[in-house]
Amino acid sequence: MDIAIRAIVLYLFVLFVMRIVGRRELSSLTAIDLVLLIVMGDAIQQGLTQDDYSVTGAVIVISTFAVLQVGSSYLGYRFKGIRSVLEGRPVVLIDDGRLVDQNLRRQRLTPDDVAEEMRLQQIASFDDVQWAILEVNGRISFIEKSGGE
Amino acid sequence: MGDAIRPVADSRAAFERHDRVGLLVRRAGVAILAGVVIAALFNVFGQRANTAVANGAAASVEVHAPTVVRPGLLYQAKISITARSAIPAAQLVFSHGWFDGMTLNTAEPGPATETSARNGSVIFSIGPLTAGQTFVQYLEFQVNPTSSSRRGQVVTVRSHGVGLVSLSRTMTVFP
């Protein structure tokens, strides 16, 4: 019983941490992010299974995570409000060539970060961008003025 | 229709039929997983402790310990003896099911003497108990990873070789 409860609590906790950490960290893994993710995984494993070496325990944990994942995706599919809580909402970073400073600040992004993403997508100037949107998966999608109109 | 699309389009009906079957299989799979989680929450796989009591003329014995455990887990067995009349030389006799495939980390209080019988039982000598006195024995176990089984566990209170009260329970060790 306790192992299923631990799995539920840790799933909710990880979901909470992933939501408050922000999307920037999800999209760009630096070396320290990678190390922290590994350390977090190890800490979660210890809290989750503790001394349990059993196949039964592993089956319970995996089943619990799978059911929670299916359940949360179903709730997100059925209810828009829950989807925005679980996954967040897309955030506009550039509107008609102008950076939306408030949104950049909230997402801890600098204009240089946006410019870097633009260069990766062969976009030379902010003026060429109709919309830049930080998607829920942490990536930035750009819609160019010529292509968007 | 392009060459790349035609094979997919031709087999569309078959694909849709398979997709329906696949959906049913997937839903059945999720239902089975949900069943596992619900069963786990209802203690089917351990290891919440429960209490069993046996009463005799001279004494009663109560065991508070889990009956379902999994390899690697630590658990406590709390055995309480209440003497109804004076017991001059109380002993706790544990059947081998208590110790087979288990690591006994500690027993508190430590018995005055600890011996083994021919049938593999382990005997703790407690000493005299006065009428109305309660003696509590704590045993701290860890389940060995290779001990998956279902075994009987009997604990008997005896004095001078005479059994006063006995309690039987079954312990399941999941793989």
Number of domains in chain B: 2
Which pTM does this prediction carry? 0.77
Q: Which residues pair with B51 in a beta bridge?
A: B64
Of B33, B70, B175, the CB nearest to A63: B33
Q: Which of B26, B42, B70 to mutate to test the interface with A (most CBs of A within 10 A)?
A: B70
The pLDDT of residue A136 is 85
Assess whether pLDDT exceeds 50 at residue A149. no
Confidence of residue B4 (pLDDT cuts 50, 70, 90): confident
Q: Are residue B75 and residue B91 in the same domain, yes or no?
A: yes
Q: Are residue B85 and residue B108 in the same domain, yes or no?
A: yes
Q: What is the ipTM of this complex?
A: 0.75
* Closest chain B CA to residue A54: B71
Q: Is residue B167 part of a domain?
A: yes
Residue B144, amino acid: N
Q: Is residue B1 part of a domain?
A: no
Q: Are residue B82 and residue B14 in the same domain, yes or no?
A: no
Q: Which of B23, B33, B173 to mutate to test the interface with A (most CBs of A within 10 A)?
A: B33
pLDDT tens, A13-60?
988 888 887 666 556 677 887 888 889 888 988 888 888 889 999 999
Q: Are residue B16 and residue B57 in the same domain, yes or no?
A: no
Q: Cα–Cα distances in Å, from A34 out to A141, B154, B170?
A: 24, 52, 47
* Closest chain B CA to residue A68: B34
Q: Are residue B73 and residue B125 in the same domain, yes or no?
A: yes
Q: Are residue B18 and residue B85 in the same domain, yes or no?
A: no
**CA-to-CA distance for A96 and A62, rounded, in angstroms?**
46
Q: Are residue B95 and residue B19 in the same domain, yes or no?
A: no
Tokens of B169: 């329970």
pLDDT tens, A95-146?
999 999 999 998 888 999 899 989 998 999 999 999 999 988 888 999 998 7
Q: Tell me the average pLDDT of chain A.
A: 87
Assess whether pLDDT exceeds 70 at residue B8. no
Q: Are residue B13 and residue B53 in the same domain, yes or no?
A: no
B85 and B131 Cβ atoms separated by less than 8 Å: yes
Q: Is residue B168 part of a domain?
A: yes
CA-based nearest residue to B128, from B114, B112, B146? B112
Q: Are residue B56 and residue B33 in the same domain, yes or no?
A: no
Q: Are residue B55 and residue B36 in the same domain, yes or no?
A: no
Q: Are residue B20 and residue B80 in the same domain, yes or no?
A: no
Mean pLDDT in residue range B78-83: 95
Q: Could you tell me the residue range of the domain that residue B28 belongs to?
A: 6-41
Query: Domains (ranges, CATH) in chain A?
Result: 2-87 (no CATH), 91-148 (3.30.240.20)
Q: Is residue B62 part of a domain?
A: yes
Q: Are residue B23 and residue B75 in the same domain, yes or no?
A: no
